[in-house]
Structure formats: C-alpha cells, structure tokens
Amino acid sequence: MQYLAVRGGKPLRGSIPIHGAKNSVLPLLAATLLTPERCVITGCPEISDATAATEILRHLGCTVEWRGASVIVDASQASGNAIPSELMGKMRASVTFLGAMLSRFGWGRLSAPGGCRLGVRPINYHVAALEALGVKWDGESEDWRCRWEARFGGEVTLPFPSVGATENLLLASVSVPGVVTVHNAAREPEITDLCGFLSAMGAEISGAGTADLIIRGGKPLHGAVWHVMPDRMETASYLAMAAACGGDVALTQTDPMLLIPVLDALRSAGCRIETTGKTIRLLRDRPLRAIGTVSTAPYPGFPTDAQAPLMAAMLLAEGETRLIETVFSDRFSHVPELRKFGGAIETDGNCAIVTGVRRLTAASAEATDLRGGMAAVIAALCAEGESRIYGLDLIGRGYAQWIDYLGLLGADVSLQEE
C-alpha cells in the first residue's frame, strides 16, 4: 500500500502557482456537451476528478483530447447514453451532467452520484427544481430516467443555495424556450465562472454572482474557449499549511479577492499576509494564536472546504478555536485523524473546539476525504518525527501535483510503498 512519509517540523519557503479550480472545471466540462461545436477549456488541473469528467464525456460519445493543461472537447457525435454507476460513483459533480444531457438530448439517464462522505448528500433540490421546469423523473437512485415532459420557463426558489443544484439548473435552463429565474441561487465564484462560459457559448444569463439568476433560454449555443478560474480551495489549503508550519510562502496565479474570510482568519491567527494582483504571500515567524469562532457558510462566507485545513492549522495555536460547520451534516471525519497527532479537539454536534497544544507528534493517519486528507498532511508537516499518510488517491482527486508542491516548498516528504 502506498503512503506518504512526512518528516515534520520544517518551516516552508517558496513560491507555487495555483491550478485551475476543481469545482469549476467539472461543470465547465459538463457544459461542453451543450454544443456540437468544439470547446476548449484551458488551465485544467490534472486531478483524477477532471479525468473522471472526461471519461463521462467520452462515454457520451464526445472526443476529448488533453493538450498540456487544455482539454479540447468535440461533442458533435455525442449520443444519449445512460451514464453507468461506475462513472457516476466517482464524484459528486457527475450529477451536473444531468442538466447538460437534458439540454442536449432532451433526457438523461444516470444513477446517484458519488463524492466525499460528508454526511447526507441528497439531490432533492435538483429534482424539485428541475421538475418545476417540466422534467419528469422515473426510476430509483440506481437508475434514474429523466426527460422533459414540457420545457417551460418559470421561477424556482432553492431551499438552500446549493452549488450543484444551481449548476444543474443553469445547464438545463439554457435549452428552455422561455425565461427561468432561480432565486436563492448559489453565489460561489465557480457559478460565475460557469455563467461566463455559457455566455461565451451564446447563452443569455444575468445575475451571475447574485442570489437571483435569470436565464433566457433557447438560444443556439456554439463552441467557445474558456480559462478555468483559480482554485480557491487549493489556495486556502496551502495558506493553512504555511500558517501551520511557519515560513514564507507565495501562491501565484490565484485571486485574493475570492478568499477574504480565509485571509481574515489567518491574519487574526498572527500571520502576515501580503496580496499583490494575483499573488498571496503568507509569512509566519511568531507563534500562532487561536481565532475565536469561525462558522462555515455559503459564499461569501467562510468556505466549508477550508474548514478541515484551518482546523489542522489551529492545532498548535495558543488558545481555543471553535469551528462550526453549517453546510454539511457530518464534515468532521478528519477529527479522529488529527487527534492521532496529539491534537486536542472536542466536538459537540456541528461544533469542533480546538485547544492549541505545545507540540504534535508523528502518527499514521488516513485521508478520510479530500480536504480532511490535506488536513492530515498539514498536521504531519508540523509533527515531530516521521508520520505516514494513507489514502493518497483521495487527495489526488482535487489537488494537482501536490506531492511535488510539498517538495518545492521545502517539506521533507517521500512516497513509499509497504
């Protein structure tokens, strides 16, 4: 079994470029299905979730070619195949192919999506919203059959600003000959990125980045070239890592404006953060201090995906930090792993209370999900002695070149086999 050996305790120094965003590239790739013309997505991160999305496109009859960090999709020969459960189960974002299939073929056939285990992750908001626009659902979660009974515009209000449901609504609505208004839509920058690409393809969408999206559907869509936005969560993870280990780290090709609550939290922990254009530099040369209470929330709040990396950074921070998870029902699976390093964490429902300790000691830990895996790596990087991190595939789902990046920052890590 493969594991990462981490000899912790070294400050990090250096500069690394941030990749294109995982949570943007996946719906962007789904959107390439909407037109028979060629689309080019540039700045694609080499992560296994992006590969899984291209496998779905190929299964649907598209020609997909990776050229460096660009993915060229020709969906001219796409045919309406059902997406098998092996492909659906690889990630949560596979569900956004439903909206794209409904637009392109008029129907979609698929099973429940996979994804990180973060508590219950139903798709009831997707179902109710698409039904309100005229989609008929049949079958069980292992084989859903969906098709338009009629395509009509209208107003849909999401019970929660779900990222995936908003993406599915956008992808389906561009084919509706009428006006679709989505209230309480997700405002995440990845939604704005998707709206940008759809508009570049000829769609008419207003309100991107707000809670009210208006889609004037039925416009013919054509091929387009789009550059993926920078990954906010990769950026947040390396910032948390630099804060935890200390040192001087610069992250380039990112966007500081998309990370304000994360930067605020790390500044209040005692880190010096300088932002210039697309670069964020974090310096930490004094002990970390606890940051009080941080609650996760939909954008523009503190991102749930940064909760686990921040928790790892707070393990050595003097005082008590309370992290409240409000987006997912069970996103603390990293807590038992972080305790293995000597982290003092108590949980009470959706609140984790971290009391800073003086030192962490080496341990063997498992990546329990993508972000929790990175949190375990962060803890290992600050622990005395040699740690082992297992479950590396989960981390590779969303962090491109991450082991190389650790080396570039001066961390003492190596891939081992046992």
Positions annotated as catalytic residues are 116
Q: Which is nearer to ligand EPU, 125 or 148 (CB)?
A: 125
Contact indicator for 104, 75 with CB cutoff of 8 Å: yes
Position 170 contacts ligand EPU (CB under 6 A): no
Q: Within 10 A of 361 (CB to CB), how many other CB atoms are there?
A: 13
Position 99 contacts ligand EPU (CB under 6 A): no
Position 160 contacts ligand EPU (CB under 6 A): yes
Q: For ligand EPU, which residue of 215, 233, 265, 266 counts as binding (CB under 6 A)?
A: 233
For residue 31, report the phi and psi dihedrals to the nearest 5 degrees: -65, -25
Q: List binders of ligand EPU among 290-319 (CB under 6 A).
A: 304-305
Position 26 contacts ligand EPU (CB under 6 A): yes
Smallest gap, in angstroms, from Cβ of residue 270 to ligand EPU? 27
Q: For ligand EPU, which residue of 7, 10, 121, 289 counts as binding (CB under 6 A)?
A: 121
Euclidean distance between CA atoms 180 and 215, whole angstroms? 5
Choose one: 11-19, 169-177, 214-222, 327-335; the region binding ligand EPU (CB under 6 A).
327-335
Q: Which is nearer to ligand EPU, 115 or 217 (CB)?
A: 115
Query: What's the helix, strand, coil split of the chain in %, to 5?
Result: 35, 30, 40
- Can you state the angle between helices 96-105 and 124-132, rounded to 10 degrees? 20
Q: Which is nearer to ligand EPU, 137 or 178 (CB)?
A: 137
x/- binding map, residues 28-67, to ligand EPU, per CB under 6 A? ----------------------------------------
Helix (H) or strand (E) holding 267: helix 260-268
Give the burial string for 194-219 (b: 16+ CB within 10 Å, else e). bbbbbbbbbbebebbbebebbbbbbb
In degrees, rounded to 5, the angle at the alpha carbon of residue 287 between the alpha carbons of residues 282 and 288 is 65
> Closest Cα to residue 242, out of 234, 253, 250?
250
Q: For ligand EPU, which residue of 174, 236, 370, 413 counts as binding (CB under 6 A)?
A: 370
Helix (H) or strand (E) holding 336: helix 335-339
Position 394 contacts ligand EPU (CB under 6 A): no
Position 141 contacts ligand EPU (CB under 6 A): no
- Can you state the angle between helices 163-173 and 96-105, rounded to 10 degrees? 10
Amino acid identity of 170? L
Q: Which is nearer to ligand EPU, 103 or 162 (CB)?
A: 162
Q: Which is nearer to ligand EPU, 74 or 234 (CB)?
A: 234
Position 395 contacts ligand EPU (CB under 6 A): no
Q: Within 10 A of 175 (CB to CB), how many other CB atoms are there?
A: 22
The neighbouring-strand residues paired with 390 are 366
Q: Name residues whose C-beta falls within 8 Å of residue 301's C-beta, 6 or more positions apart in sequence.
A: 261, 295
Smallest gap, in angstroms, from Cβ of residue 28 to ligand EPU? 11
Q: For ligand EPU, which residue of 35, 103, 162, 387 counts as binding (CB under 6 A)?
A: 162
Helices H, strands E: what count in the chain? 14, 23
Smallest gap, in angstroms, from Cβ of residue 41 to ligand EPU? 15
Position 349 contacts ligand EPU (CB under 6 A): no
Binding residues (CB under 6 A) for ligand EPU: these are 22-23, 26, 92-93, 116, 120-126, 160, 162-165, 188, 233, 304-305, 327-329, 370-371, 398
